[in-house]
Amino acid sequence: MKTYSELIKIPTFDDRFRYLKIGGKVGEDTFGSNRYLNQSFYSSRDWKIIRDYIIARDEGCDLAILDRPIFDKIYIHHINPVLEEDIIKHSDWLFDPEFLICVSFETHNAIHYGDESILYKTKFAIRTPNDTSPWRG
């Protein structure tokens, strides 16, 4: 199993991403018709408590890299894939900080679907002289 202790020894964001990358496919069922298990788990009191702890521990930074603060919704990622049976059995490791990390939405999707290109999309429009002036061309 991959661990947080191993992950934080990796110095760069890119290398941490590669350590966590799963490489699934978009549209692939996570829990299929039993998706309610997943939804029930992530709305539980136990999950909310550990979620808050992980955000504080990682200072709300993407992959716990301090110069990569997350300014949007923070996702708590299980470092190892969660299976349906893990949720049914209420496996202890699901709540163990050693197997959890803060990630942004883009990083979370890139980890699961293996598309590194979404990590580096610019979020700002490229500005040009007079591009906001209606009377200048």
Instruction: Tell me the residue range of the domain where 98 lies.
Output: 4-120
Compute how many other C-beta atoms are within 10 angstroms of the C-beta atom of residue 76: 19
Residue 50 lies in a domain: yes
Paired with 103 in beta bridges are 75
Q: Which one, of 29, 13, 4, lies nearest residue 106 by Cα?
A: 13
Gap between the Cα atoms of 110 and 76, Å rounded: 14
Which 3 state secondary structure label does DSSP give 136? coil
Highest mean predicted confidence (pLDDT) among 23-27, 92-96, 115-119: 92-96
Residue 74 lies in a domain: yes
The total of structural domains in the chain comes to: 1
pTM over 0.85: no
Q: For 27-50, what is each residue's pLDDT tens digit?
A: 444 555 566 777 888 899 999 999
Q: How confident is the model at residue 111 (pLDDT cuts 50, 70, 90)?
A: very high
Q: How confident is the model at residue 26 (pLDDT cuts 50, 70, 90)?
A: very low
Residue 132 lies in a domain: no
Q: For 74-109, what is each residue's pLDDT tens digit?
A: 999 999 988 888 888 889 999 999 999 999 999 998
H/E run at residue 50: helix 45-57
